[in-house]
Structure 1
Amino acid sequence: MKKNIRSVIAIPLLAAVVIVLSSCSGGDSATDTGVKPEPQPTPVIKNPLVDCGEYRIEPPTVLPWKLTRPSDWVVMGSSSAFGAGASAPEKSWVGLIRDYHSALGVTIHNIAKGGYSTYHALSKQCVVSASRPVADMQHNIDKAHEFKPDLVFLSYPSNDAVSKYTATESASNLLLLRWQLMQQGTAVVVLSSQPRNTNTAAQAALLELDKLLKPLVGACFVELHSLLVADTGGLATQFDSGDGVHLNDAGHQIVAQAINQTLNSGRCVEF
């Protein structure tokens, strides 16, 4: 049975998307010393280039999601999720996840497409600046909804950054997609960025994106960047298919293992 979502504060997207994080400080020491902890700054994630009406940011405290089997899963993303760099489809991370979970009654629908950004994934109902890509109805959230998925993976590891979209744009888009899926009772797993042999500004944007998303997505955030990165900040040679961008079989294996660790932890989903 899919899990219902509790509502939190709604904020119009164009005005701002504001997420307040609770600080986790040592309550006993604060009580003992009488010193109050310093107030934590409030992260603001705002994308003025997209208007999808109102949406809410769901804190990770609703986890874990209850999943039943059989169930339908959808993969949304770009070339890595499509399987680029792998020697065969079954060697891609989606192929490995499919093989692992198919015996347990899971059907995976992969609607990822190479070269796509978080903007391509938005609903056709969103009003997006003409300076950004338009949604693709065969590879976006509207298509994902058609499968009535129990779980959706969001994997947009680097195309936004190399297109010079800001980390806050990308984070806002992903959080919007996440919230819209959750409103349908769908569990959402968000994959982190992946290192890429590109300029230092883009590499920094990838790290900033993960920094924004990780505390908000919580246990359903899959950390990949640190597992695949070289000392230079690009993609480590042992995981490089040869172009400095796409993962080889070993890299896809790392991604699949990290995803299964998240799914099997019992903190994001429960079967």
Structure 2
Amino acid sequence: MKIKLLLLVVCVAIICLAHPAFAQKKVVIMGSSTAAGYGATSYPLSWAGRLQSSFNMNTTDGIDTTFFNIAVGGYTTYQEMPTGYVPPAGRPACDQLANITKALSYGPDVVIINLPSNDVGAGYTITETMYNLRLMYSSISSSGAKCYITTSQPRNDYSDVQRQALLEMKDSILTQFPVFSINFWDDLVTTDGKNMLRDDRRDPTSPLHPNDIGHGFLFGRVQDKNIFSSVLPVQLTRFNARLKNDCTSFSWHTEQQEPNTTFDIERSANDIDFENVFSTTVAEAKQSADYVGTDKSALPGKSFYRIKVIEPSHKFYSTTIGIINNNCSFMISGLYTNNNGATVIADISNNKKGYALVSIINTAGVVLQQSKQYIALPFTRIMLPIASYAAGEYYLRVSTDNDNCSIKAFIK
């Protein structure tokens, strides 16, 4: 009886060790300074360190995921090409301690490549960078491992032309590797169109490295990929938004959609704090599908929208779209505060006299005060008390019964 029990235990142990679900996983992280943890106050707070911690919560069973980080600050795609690759004239040779060949020597299940900006700084074209990334991806995939490539990242020490090139590189990577790309751009970039690294997510001592908060966002992007899953995530190939009469209409297209997929449309006034404004769940799987949705009460001024896609095995966010709600026929020609912020003064220009509803609205869309005001020709100056308001951004909205309106932001 004891012998049979011993044999049973041995057999179970062999099965457990041989079965993929029980096998130890290996991840290799390649790249430059962001992958190496620069900008974070400590490596465990970098995106790579957080990823390792998230997979290694249990340290007692001997089968936790093994991580190898071979990233080197300042490296471009050329230093990480496979051993034996001959670079063009004027381009650096590979580093055999940090390249694709070295990564594959660990027998990885997953390789993550994070080379976000140094190629542009070195003057390499997007064409040659994308060629290098495709060769790296092909080398890893042909070995049987999964390869994920992060997009470019914004940085503040580059020229306008270089920052535009980083934006174009981001789009190229997302297009070339739709399922196996990881968006490291949207959570770090400013919303003013200058393609800069946001101050609140930047290491204050560096113009190019994300801080702990920025690394946290990057970790979230990698975590959402569910890198060991055998099920490919849905592809969100289009997301559009259109404003009409204070309503924002959305349309989006998906490929390879799992059953029971939920789409949450989220809105933000500051591109940081998002709230759900529309949700739909689709029970059946779809190879290709189109969807529409509506936000029936768009915020005044600029709003930001994104789609949160929730599948049974995946969760991720779309890129963010900005919408400006200023469909107005007459003008707030002047708007300022005085008396140390106790009063807001607005000059209203109009070509037709009459009454209008004047509202002050906060960035969450809450109406703080409203009053009917008579608007004379050619303009009227109105004064509203705001002494009790906290410091911050607000909107003044002037509207008439026939939906003519004007919206303008002010700072208290």
- Secondary structure of residue in 2 paired with 1:98: helix
The match for 1:87 is 41
Q: Is the 8 A contact 2:202 2:208 kept in 1?
A: yes
- Secondary structure of residue in 2 paired with 1:218: coil
Letter matched to residue 134 of structure 1? A
The match for 1:248 is 211
The match for 1:153 is 112
Question: Using the alignment, how far apart are the partners of 1:229 and 1:149 within structure 2?
Answer: 31
Q: Is the 8 A contact 2:41 2:212 kept in 1?
A: yes
| Runs (5+) with no aligned partner, structure 2 | 1-19, 59-63, 235-312, 315-412
Q: Which has the larger displacement, 204-213 or 107-116?
A: 204-213
Letter matched to residue 131 of structure 1? G
Cα deviation code 1:97-151 (max 9, x no counterpart): 0000123721110000000000110012111123111100111011101101000
Q: Post-superposition, which runs of at least 4 consecutive aligned residues in structure 1 deviate over 6 A?
A: none
The match for 1:267 is 232
Q: What TM-score, normalized to structure 2?
A: 0.48
Q: Is the 8 A contact 2:114 2:150 kept in 1?
A: yes
Cα deviation code 1:189-215 (max 9, x no counterpart): 111111001111111111221222212
The match for 1:213 is 173
Q: How does 1:43-58 map to 2 (within 5 A)?
A: none
Question: Using the alignment, how far apart are the partners of 1:215 and 1:193 within structure 2?
Answer: 13
Letter matched to residue 222 of structure 1? I
Q: Is the 8 A contact 2:33 2:71 kept in 1?
A: yes
The match for 2:85 is 126
% same residue = 32
Question: Using the alignment, how far apart are the partners of 2:130 and 2:21 within structure 1?
Answer: 26
Q: Is the 8 A contact 1:168 1:209 kept in 2?
A: no
Q: CA deviation at 1:224?
A: 1.8
Q: Is the 8 A contact 2:29 2:69 kept in 1?
A: yes
Question: Using the alignment, how far apart are the partners of 1:172 and 1:208 within structure 2?
Answer: 15
Q: Which has the higher contact order (CA 8 A, sep 6+)?
A: 1
Question: Using the alignment, how far apart are the partners of 1:83 and 1:134 within structure 2?
Answer: 24
Question: Using the alignment, how far apart are the partners of 1:124 and 1:192 within structure 2?
Answer: 24
Q: Is the 8 A contact 2:187 2:214 kept in 1?
A: no
The alpha-carbon distance between structure 1 residues 67 and 108, as it changes in their structure 2 partners (threshold 3 A), is farther
1:110 to 43, 66, 69: 69
- Secondary structure of residue in 2 paired with 1:96: helix
Cα deviation code 1:39-62 (max 9, x no counterpart): xxxxxxxxxxxxxxxxxxxxxxxx
- Secondary structure of residue in 2 paired with 1:188: strand
Structure showing greater radius of gyration is: 2
The match for 2:195 is 233
- Secondary structure of residue in 2 paired with 1:226: coil
The match for 1:204 is 164
Question: Using the alignment, how far apart are the partners of 1:68 and 1:152 within structure 2?
Answer: 20
The alpha-carbon distance between structure 1 residues 237 and 143, as it changes in their structure 2 partners (threshold 3 A), is same
1:176 to 110, 135, 157: 135
Q: Is the 8 A contact 2:87 2:93 kept in 1?
A: yes
Question: Using the alignment, how far apart are the partners of 1:190 and 1:146 within structure 2?
Answer: 19
The match for 2:147 is 188
Letter matched to residue 40 of structure 2? A
Question: Using the alignment, how far apart are the partners of 1:124 and 1:241 within structure 2?
Answer: 34
Q: How does 1:61-80 map to 2 (within 5 A)?
A: 69-80=23-34
The match for 2:4 is none
| Runs (5+) with no aligned partner, structure 1 | 1-65
Cα deviation code 1:196-254 (max 9, x no counterpart): 01111111111221222212211221112111001221100011102110111001100
Q: Is the 8 A contact 1:234 1:244 kept in 2?
A: no
The alpha-carbon distance between structure 1 residues 162 and 95, as it changes in their structure 2 partners (threshold 3 A), is same
- Secondary structure of residue in 2 paired with 1:251: helix
Q: Is the 8 A contact 2:86 2:93 kept in 1?
A: no
Question: Using the alignment, how far apart are the partners of 2:23 and 2:195 within structure 1?
Answer: 40
Question: Using the alignment, how far apart are the partners of 1:195 and 1:144 within structure 2?
Answer: 26
